[in-house]
């Protein structure tokens, strides 16, 4: 097994989670050198089977499971449960995303496993959390985006607009889990004790909204209550809520429309993003564009310095000016003035991007079935240890024999467990060169 000497070298993680959030947390820990063992049921993580490109592996699964080993265990069989408990004895961290009550039924809940290994750090992610009226509801990222307001906020008072390029609540929840696990390791070094950690897609969806989920009550409460009243009235009357809200834009929505310095523009040949978050940068942008804007003359962006009509005229003028030059010409001009900007790129272009190559942001993995696979590398660099796993995502049960040997099982015992279907081991498909682990 090709390992890295990362800061989590020697830390063992059992990843019982499926889909995105929990597996991402495991992948992040693997990128720092942890030995992450993905513990899967006989059919594997369900995410494996969504549009697979290899037997039991989909692109989505591969994207959040690199750097792991896989052992397949049937936890409903006594022999499988015995294997799992022996594995728990060796673990530092466990990741799970069972709906409330399921872990208890399987006997893999924190109370049970901490009795086996008191130093275990048990990290749980659910859709909505372990308490409250939503606790028993299932959910994925799209549901969380809808129920935490992200979708409506992105739609800016119009139709809900989901973020589909990535899964924001999944990724945030996974990062919070990895963050909590790292903090708990430090706490265990000081106290010798493991602990239970919990987050949810719903909680992560609230936490990432540092602007919408923020209220200065003296300034914002009255407007929020007007919005709530309008929503209730619209629903009572059978009207579309978005039609009502379109007539009463929030401060955020008004700011987004009126600020021409944080926006994407169409140029002569493509698109460019302009991003100025202070008046010094806005003044530099104004000079490049050759316009005048009294709002940027002082230290603060003076929204009262232009009337709504004057603001509209200036916005249309700036848009027209951008259309007179190519994106490369604008990037050169703004770069020379120190103004943050960038061309709108297509993901296909980034595989050969010089900055991506210079920072080694992509890595090529040798997949046992698919051959070379290019994937995003860890974005972290650390002076005290290597980062970025060298292992591709595992086939289901690819490392079952290897892990069982590490637990002290003899080869005949391992084959007996496989025959009894307590565990499942991967066999390389016909025509694929690869050894049985």
End-to-end CA distance of the chain: 10
**pLDDT tier for residue 16 given thresholds of 50, 70 and 90:** very high
Distance CA 374, CA 200 (A): 30
Hey, what CATH topology would domain 217-344 get? formyl-coa transferase, domain 3 (3.30.1540)
The two tokens of residue 81 are 């449960």
Instruction: Output the average pLDDT for the chain.
Output: 94
Is a pLDDT exceeding 50 seen at residue 339?
A: yes
pLDDT in tens, 103-116: 999 999 999 999 99
**95 forms bridges with which residues in the sheet?**
15, 123
Is the distance from CB of 80 to CB of 423 less than 8 angstroms?
yes
**Per-residue burial over 207-237, b = 16 or more CB atoms within 10 Å of its CB, e = otherwise:** ebbeebeeeeeeeeeeeeeebeebeeebeee
Asked if residue 436 has pLDDT above 60, the reply is: no
**Model pLDDT for residues 197-222, shown as the tens digit of each residue:** 999 999 999 999 998 999 999 999 99
What's 407's DSSP letter? T
| pLDDT the model gives residue 428 | 83
**pTM for the whole structure:** 0.93
pLDDT digits (tens, 9 = 90+) for 234-256: 999 998 888 888 777 666 666 66
- Between CA 305 and CA 279 the distance in angstroms is 14
Class of domain 12-208+380-424: alpha beta
Instruction: At 232, give phi and psi (nearest 5°).
Output: -60, -40
Residue 433 has pLDDT above 70, yes or no: no
CA gyration radius, the chain: 26
Contact 225, 132 (CB under 8 A): no
CB burial string 365-375: b at 16+ within 10 A, e below? bebbbeeebeb
Query: Cα–Cα distances in Å, from 303 out to 187, 254, 306?
Result: 48, 11, 7
pLDDT digits (tens, 9 = 90+) for 153-177: 888 766 788 998 899 999 999 999 9
Domain limits, the chain: 12-208+380-424, 217-344
Closest CA to 87 of 12, 157, 161, 183: 12
Contacts of 102 (CB under 8 A, 6+ apart): none
Average pLDDT over every residue of 251-272: 85
Strand order in the sheet with 121-126: 195-200, 121-126, 93-96, 12-15, 35-40, 68-73, 423-424
Which residue in this structure is represented by tokens 């929505």? 253
DSSP annotation of 133: T
Say what the pLDDT of residue 435 is. Answer: 46
CB atoms within 10 A of CB 159: 10
Banded model confidence at residue 432, pLDDT cuts 50, 70, 90: low
Say if strands 371-376 and 35-40 run parallel, antiparallel, or are unpaired.
unpaired
pLDDT the model gives residue 236: 93
| Res 179 pLDDT > 60 | yes
Q: What DSSP state is assigned to residue 73?
A: E
- Would you state the pLDDT for residue 248? 77
Confidence at residue 119, expressed as pLDDT on a 0 to 100 scale: 98
Query: Is 388:39 a contact under the CB 8 Å cutoff?
Result: no
Q: What confidence tier does 431 reach under pLDDT thresholds 50, 70, 90?
A: low
pLDDT in tens, 33-68: 999 999 999 999 999 999 999 999 999 999 999 999
Q: Secondary structure of 337-352 in the HEC alphabet?
A: CCCCEEECCCHHHHCC
Round to whole Å and give the CA distance between 107 and 420.
20
CA-based nearest residue to 15, from 67, 51, 50, 57: 67
């Amino acid at each position: 097994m090709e390992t890295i000497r990362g800061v989590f070298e020697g830390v063992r993680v059992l990843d019982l989670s499926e889909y995105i959030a929990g597996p991402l947390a495991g992948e992040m820990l693997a990128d720092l050198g942890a030995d992450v063992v993905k513990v899967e049921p006989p059919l594997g993580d369900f995410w494996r089977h969504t549009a697979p490109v290899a037997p039991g592996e989909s692109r989505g699964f591969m994207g959040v499971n690199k750097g792991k080993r896989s052992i397949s265990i049937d936890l409903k069989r006594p022999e499988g449960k015995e294997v799992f408990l022996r594995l728990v004895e060796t673990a530092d961290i466990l990741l799970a995303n069972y709906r409330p009550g399921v872990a208890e039924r399987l006997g893999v809940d924190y109370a049970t496993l901490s009795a086996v290994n008191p130093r275990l750090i048990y990290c749980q992610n659910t859709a909505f959390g372990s308490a409250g009226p939503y606790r028993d509801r299932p959910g994925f990222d799209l549901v969380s985006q809808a129920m935490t307001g992200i979708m409506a906020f992105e739609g800016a008072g119009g139709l809900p607009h989901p973020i589909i390029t990535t899964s924001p609540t999944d990724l945030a929840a996974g990062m919070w889990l990895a963050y909590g696990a790292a903090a708990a390791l430090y706490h265990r070094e000081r106290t010798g004790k493991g602990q239970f950690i919990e987050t949810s897609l719903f909680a992560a969806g609230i936490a990432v909204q540092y602007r919408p989920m923020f209220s200065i009550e003296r300034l914002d409460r009255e407007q929020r209550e007007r919005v709530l009243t309008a929503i209730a009235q619209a629903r009572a009357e059978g009207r579309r809520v978005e039609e009502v809200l379109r007539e009463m834009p929030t401060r955020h929505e008004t700011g987004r429309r009126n600020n021409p310095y944080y926006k994407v523009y169409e140029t002569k040949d493509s698109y460019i993003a302009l991003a100025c978050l202070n008046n010094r940068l806005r003044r530099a942008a104004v000079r490049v564009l050759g316009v005048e804007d009294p709002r940027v003359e002082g230290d603060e962006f003076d929204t009262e310095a232009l009337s709504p009509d004057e603001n509209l005229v200036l916005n249309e003028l700036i848009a027209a000016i951008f259309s007179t030059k190519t994106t490369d010409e604008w990037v050169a001009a703004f770069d020379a003035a120190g103004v943050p900007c960038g061309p709108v790129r297509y993901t296909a272009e980034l595989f050969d991007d010089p900055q991506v190559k210079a920072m080694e942001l992509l890595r090529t993995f040798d997949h046992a079935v698919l051959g070379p696979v290019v994937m995003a590398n860890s974005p972290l660099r650390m002076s005290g240890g290597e980062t970025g796993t060298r292992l591709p995502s595992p086939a289901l049960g690819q490392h079952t024999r290897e892990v069982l040997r590490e637990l002290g099982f003899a080869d005949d015992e391992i084959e007996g467990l496989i025959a009894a279907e307590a565990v499942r081991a991967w066999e390389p498909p016909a025509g694929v060169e690869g050894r049985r682990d």
